[in-house]
Each structure stands twice: as C-alpha cells, then as structure tokens.
Structure 1
C-alpha cells in the first residue's frame, strides 16, 4: 500500500513537472525515460519528473556524485553513468534509490566510493563498476544485494578481496574480475578455491592473474601453486614481576601473547578498564620500554601500557585504574584469533589470603602441582584456573590481583599479587 501511494504521488507530481532543459523526457515501452547523455554536463541537473524510471547521464563530464543527487527520482529503476569523470561517490548519493535494478558506473575514475550506498539497493540486479580506480572493496560491501545477478569489477586496481565478499550474492550468475593487479599472497587463496568450485560464470579466467610477488607475476589465479599459509593462533600467558629487592608503590603485571601464523600476524592489545577502552598497536615501546616515535609517552617517557615487539605487555604500576579485561588479538590475511584475561584489584581486609590458603592446601592433598615465581603460567584447559598468591612484607602495602586464565574461559580464576611470593598452584574449580 505504501508503494502504491508513492507511485500515485510520483505520477501526479511528474505530470506537473517539466524535463530539465539539457535533457529529453519521454514515455517508451511503459518506462518514463530521461535522456541526458552526451550533453557535456558537469553536474546532475535538477528538475526531473518524479516518475522517471530510467535516467541516462552517460558520456558527460560529471566529476562526482554528491549526497542526495537523485532524491527527485525515487522510482528510478535504471541509472546509466558510464564514461564520465566521476572520482567520488558520496554517502547518500544512491541510497534513496530502493527500486533501482540496473546501475552502470563503468569507465570512470572512481577510487573513493561510499559502499554504504549499496546497502539500500536490495532490488539491484546489474552492477557495473568496471574500468575504474578501485583499490579495495569492504567485506560487507554487497551484504544487501541478494537479487544481484551480474557484477562487473574488471579493469580496476584491486590487489586483494576479503574472503566472503561474494557470499551474500545468492542470485549471482555472472562475475567479471579479470585484469586487476592481484597480490597473490595467502589472502587470495580463498578466491582461487571459490572460483574453481562456484557455479557462477567467471569469464576470462586466464586474465585473473598475479601481478605480485614477482616470482608469480602473470600466473593465472586458477593455476596458483600451493602457498605456505596458516590462520593466526594465540596463547596468552601471564607472570608477576617480582625482584624482591625493594618495596615500591604498586607492582608490575606482565602478560605475554605468543602468536603463530603465516603470514606473520599483526598483534593488537585491547584493554577494557573502568575508565574506558584502550587499544594498543604492538609494539608501542622499544626494548628499553620507552615510547616509540609517534606514541604519546607517559610520565618518564614510558607509556602506561608497554607493548613490546616480542608480544609482551607490561603494566609497570598496576592499580585500581588498570583492572579490567586484557585481550590480545592476532590478525593476518586468513583471519584472526583472540585470547583474554580478566584482572581485578582486591582491597585489604577481604580475607582472600586465608580463603585461598585453605583452597591451596585442599588442592595440594589432591596432588595438584606447584610452580615457582620464575615459571610462566598458562592454562591447560578451559576448566582450569590459575592461582598465584603473593603476601606483602611486614608493614608493607597489601595488594591482590584477580585474573581469569585462558581463551574461552567463563569463570575467572584468582591471581593474587603483593611484594613476596608465598605459593603458586594450578587448580581446577
């Protein structure tokens, strides 16, 4: 009913509107056509009848498509914009065209495209973006195009495509991606596998070829040899730093994220504290603990959270402001992996040491193992909790840290820190 009202409104409004002067408008084969091709236009002209269903702006000199460029033609089903000088398509430029079935943006200079424009185009069946300057496409670019049948992305500057890019296109029958400078590393292997297995027609497969690395230059993707590739894996361990030589306000908590994968994953730390979220690209300090160039230093030139190149994260002055969830995330072309630990500061007088001591003795009678402070501790399974107990020296400050152990663990364990080691054991609760 809403669409019928919109159609009636558009028809009535269209009857009272003239065609823009540079264009010609007519009804043909039941379609309301506005022809503005070959008019030397440098902007989309205003004043179209609202009932226009086909609009041709091909072979002009349009430099860009601004937001709201086609608000006057909400019933548009076909839009032809080929052979212009379009470099950018702004967010909102195409979003109002929910009835659009055919969109031709080929033979332009588009490098900056707001892919959110496509999220409202659920009726789209043909999308031509070939012969442009596109260098990348987000994984979610085509998430709403479940009716799309033909997609042309050939003759662009695409180096790679994210795995799953074409998964939402359940109606796709024709895909052109030839003549792009693909970087044939691990991130492109999925495309070879998918292209060989899909029922989608993919012409010119010998021209879907590698440009880099040099040793593979010119190799068709379909004949790409096996590459040594593996998705990231992470293992998060933690260890108190305790030198016993002097008393200091606060203590050092050390986390270590061991990362594996090919190509070598990039490591990122995500810290959720009571004061907010802290994201840390590793490394942010050199071997001496001082901030790298471009990293805002804290007091003494050392950041609050020190991420080292070897995968370690050091919190030199752990206190109430630093409690929270610490996560390490490893990412490469094949995916990502994450592991987290929860850390909280206990306050004096909670009786934690007595309770944990009784639990330690109970676990000890069951044959659970003990470890020294020099040992780095890691959970052996999702059911295990790590318990590390430190007691302060006589007269020294009392402090405790509570931490869960291991990826995917639901119930947090306890990691108690102070100024001198009492014991450390692995317990299953």
Structure 2
C-alpha cells in the first residue's frame, strides 16, 4: 500500500513537471524515457519528472556522481551512464534507486565507488562496470543482488578477488571478468576452482583471464594455472619454564614464542592487552641485536616489547604494568589464526603459596582444571592459559643478554628467569 501511494504521488508530480532543457523526453511502451546523451554535460541535470523510468546520460563529460544525484527519480528502472569521465561515485548517489533493474557505468574512469549503495539495489538485473579503473571489490559488495543476471567487470585493474564474492548472485548467468591484472597467488585459487568446476555461470573469454604477477606466471591463463601449495595459518603459543643456573641472576625477563605455519608465509602481529590499554605490534620491530628497526614505532632503541623475526616476543623488564593477555595473530591470504596466554605477576613480598592458593580457589570454584608444574606445561582445556609469576625485582642488563639469545632461530617458548619463581597454569589451552 505504501508503494502504491508513492507511485500515485510521483505520477501526479511528474505530470506537472517539464522536460529538462538539454534533454529529450517521451513515452514508449508505457515507459517514461529521458534522453540526455551526447549533450556535453558536466553535471547531472536538475528537475527531472519524478515518474521517469529510463534515463540516459551516456556520452557526456560527467566527472562524478554526487550524493543524492538521482533522488528526484525514485521509480527509475534503467540508468545509462557509459562513456563519461566519472572518477568517483559518492555514497548515496545511487542508494535511492530501489526499483533500478539496469545500471551501466562502463567506459568511465571509476576508481572510487560507493559499493555500499549496491546493498539497496535488490531489483538490479544488469550491472555493467567494465572498462574502468577498479582495483578491488569488497567481499560483501554483491550481498543484496539476488536478482542480478549479468555482471561485467572486464577491463579493470583488479588484482584479486575475495573468496565467495559471487556467492550471493544466485541468479547470475553471465560474468565477464577478463583483462584484469590478476596476482596469481593463493588468494585467487578459489576463483579458478569456482569458474572451472563449481559454477554454471557463463564466463566468456577465459583465456583472457590471465596472470600479471608473479613474473614467472605473467600471461598464464587462470584456467591453466597449476595448483599452488596453499594453507591457512596455524599458530601455537609455546612456553616452558627454564632454570638454567648460568642465567639465574637478579632480574626477570619474560619471553614467549609463537610457532607459525602457513603458505604463503603469514604475517605475525602481537596484541597485548594490559591495564594501560592495548598494544599492537607488527613483528618484527627489532633486529637480531634487540635494537628497534629503522622506521619502527618503538619509542626508543630498546622498546618495552621486542618482537623478533623468528616469532619470539621479549619483555625485558616485566612488572605489574606488563600483566595482561598476550596474543599472537598470524594472517595470510587464506585466513588467520590466533593463540593467547594470560600473564599475572604476584605482588612482591606476598607469599607465593598464598597467591597461588587464592588464584587456585577462584578457578576451582568455577569448575576449571588446575595444574602446578616444574618444567613442563600440560594444558587441560580449551581456554587461555593463566600464568602467575611470583618474582621480586628486575634489572636491565640481564634482559639485554636474554634478548640476544631469543633473537636466534631455535624456539625458546616461554622463558622465566629470576631470583625466585613459582608458576601456576589454570584452565590451559
């Protein structure tokens, strides 16, 4: 009923409006048509009749589509904008066209497109965006286009496609995506499988869907690309107490090690949540000597948290301010994985037994497993580890020595050094 009222309103309003001066208006087969093509226009005209259903602005000099550009024509079903000079389609430029079935934006210079506007165009059946300068498509760009039948994305600058990009297009029958400079790494292999074996969508000119990089694959059609060794990241945050007598000097250093697997090699980040806030570190932020790398956001040449290239994280001066949750996050083109450990330091001077007993009582009341260990960690459940450390004080010189050891290639796990230490692992994973 609401749509009927809207229709009546725009029809009555349209009867009283004249045709914009640079355009031709008419009716054909029940459609209200406005032709503004080949008029050398540099802006979308104003004062369109509200009942227009077909609008052509092709072959003009439009540089952009601003917000609300077509708010006057809510009943528009076909919009032709090919062969302009459009570089930017602003958010809200197309969002009001809920009845739109055909949209042609081909042969422009579009690099900045309001993909979110497509979420309102659920009636769309034809979308032409070929011959532009698009470099990416958001993974959810087409989530509302369940009526779309033809999609043209050829002759753009697309390097990759997010897995599942075309999954919402359940009625899609025709897809053109040739002549894009695809980076043929693991992130594109899903599309090869989908195009060759999964979908029934017609994809013409597949020999022109080729690789541009890496260099050894340049010019290779995607449908002839050999399988690549690809795997999503796997991480394991390992730790083991160590009491090497040669290293037991006054002071305390905490070290964690994140074992990472995956192809292509994942990028490693550390997320450290303490009472002072969240610290995010892209690994590595220090070199093998423990000094901050050039361009690193570390505050000094000896940063508070040292992330080494081999996956180790060193906290040279661990204290109450460094208590919190330490997480290593590995990400590559196929996904991400994360592992975490909670670290707490007992108050200096407090009895180690009292501290552990208090923590143990609290966790036991929650029905969670508990282990005390000497030199071996045995996880008991799916939750984060809770590591409680009882220690007196720290000293920087020993931290430097240990930092140089952690930068080596062997995994060190969790290294705890000090005058006295006591560990409790609760609800481990």
TM-score by length of 2: 0.82
1:216 maps to what in 2? 217
Aligned to 1:268: 269
* Structure 1 residues without counterparts, runs of 5 or longer: 361-367, 394-414
Equivalent residue number for residue 245 of structure 1? 249
Q: Does 1:129 align with 2:133?
A: no
* 2:274–2:325 contact (8 Å) kept in structure 1: yes
Counterparts of 1:153 and 1:292 in 2: how far apart (Å)? 42
Partner residue in 2 for 1:259: 260
**Separation in structure 2 between the aligned mates of residue 86 and residue 74 of structure 1, nearest angstrom:** 22
Structure 1 pair 358–91 and aligned structure 2 pair: CA distance change class (3 A): closer
Q: Does 1:292 align with 2:296?
A: no
Q: CA deviation at 1:35?
A: 1.1
Please give the per-residue CA displacement for 1:297-322, whole angstroms capped at 9, x wherever unaligned.
Answer: 32x43333322222222233334443
For residues 383 and 154 of structure 2, what CA distance do their matches in structure 1 show? 51
Give the aligned partner of residue 107 of structure 1.
107
Residues 346/4 of structure 1: CA separation in 2 closer, same or farther (3 Å cut): farther
Deviations 1:277-335 (A, max 9, x none): 3322222222333333333332x433333222222222333344433332221111222
With over 3 angstroms needed to count, the CA separation of the structure-2 counterparts of 1:255 and 1:42, relative to structure 1, is same
SS of aligned partner of 1:222: helix
Q: Return the alpha-carbon distance in structure 2 between the equivalents of residues 334 and 326 of structure 1.
A: 23
Shift of 1:351: 5.8
- 268-277 or 55-64: which moved more? 268-277
Q: Which residue of 2 aligns with 1:12?
A: 12
User: 1:38 & 1:214 partners in 2: Cα distance?
Assistant: 42
State the Cα deviation string for residues 11-58 of structure 1 (Å, max 9, x = none).
222222222211122222222222111111111111112222211111
TM-score (norm 1): 0.82
Match of 1:325 in 2: 325
Residue 423 of structure 1, CA deviation: 5.0
Which residue in the other structure is 1:420 paired with? 419
**Residue matched to 2:397:** none
Q: 1:215 to 1:140 in 2, by over 3 A?
A: same
Aligned in 2, Cα 1:427/1:98: closer, same or farther, shift over 3 Å?
A: closer
Report the equivalent of 2:237.
Answer: 236
Q: CA RMSD, aligned part only?
A: 3.1
1:59 aligns with 2:54: no
What is the deviation of 1:175? 1.0
Q: Classify 1:96/1:304 alpha carbon distance in 2 versus 1 (closer, same or farther; 3 Å).
A: farther
Q: 1:28 to 1:337 in 2, by over 3 A?
A: same
In 2 relative to 1, CA 211–289 (structure 1 residues): closer, same or farther, beyond 3 Å? same
Is residue 66–residue 89 contact of structure 1 (8 Å, CA) maintained in 2? yes
The alignment covers a number of residue pairs equal to: 394
Measure the CA separation in 1 of the matches of 2:282 and 2:294: 13
The Cα offsets for residues 89-140 of structure 1, whole Å up to 9 and x where unpaired, read as 1222112222211111111111222212212212211111111111211212
Do the aligned partners of residues 101 and 344 (structure 1) sit closer, same or farther apart at CA in structure 2, a change above 3 Å counting? Answer: farther
Structure number with the higher strand fraction is 1
- The answer for the alignment partner of 2:32 in structure 1 is 32
- 2:194 and 2:378 map into 1 onto residues whose CA distance is 38
Return the structure number with greater relative CO, CA threshold 8 A, min gap 6. 2
Which runs of 5 or more structure 2 residues have no equivalent in the other structure? 361-370, 394-413
Q: 1: distance between equivalents of 2:99 and 2:69?
A: 16
Name the counterpart of 2:118. Answer: 118
The corresponding residue for 2:338 is 338
User: CA separation in 2, counterparts of 1:106 and 1:232?
Assistant: 39
Change (3 A) 1:230 1:417: closer
SS of the residue 1:258 aligns to: strand
Per-residue deviation, 1:369: 8.8
Q: Structure 1, residues 141-189: CA drift from partner, whole Å, max 9, x if none? A: 1122222111111111212111111112222121111121222111111
Residue 385 of structure 1 and its aligned partner are, at CA, apart by: 5.2
- Please give the alpha-carbon distance, in whole angstroms, between the structure 2 residues aligned to 1:280 and 1:206: 43
What is aligned with 1:404?
A: none
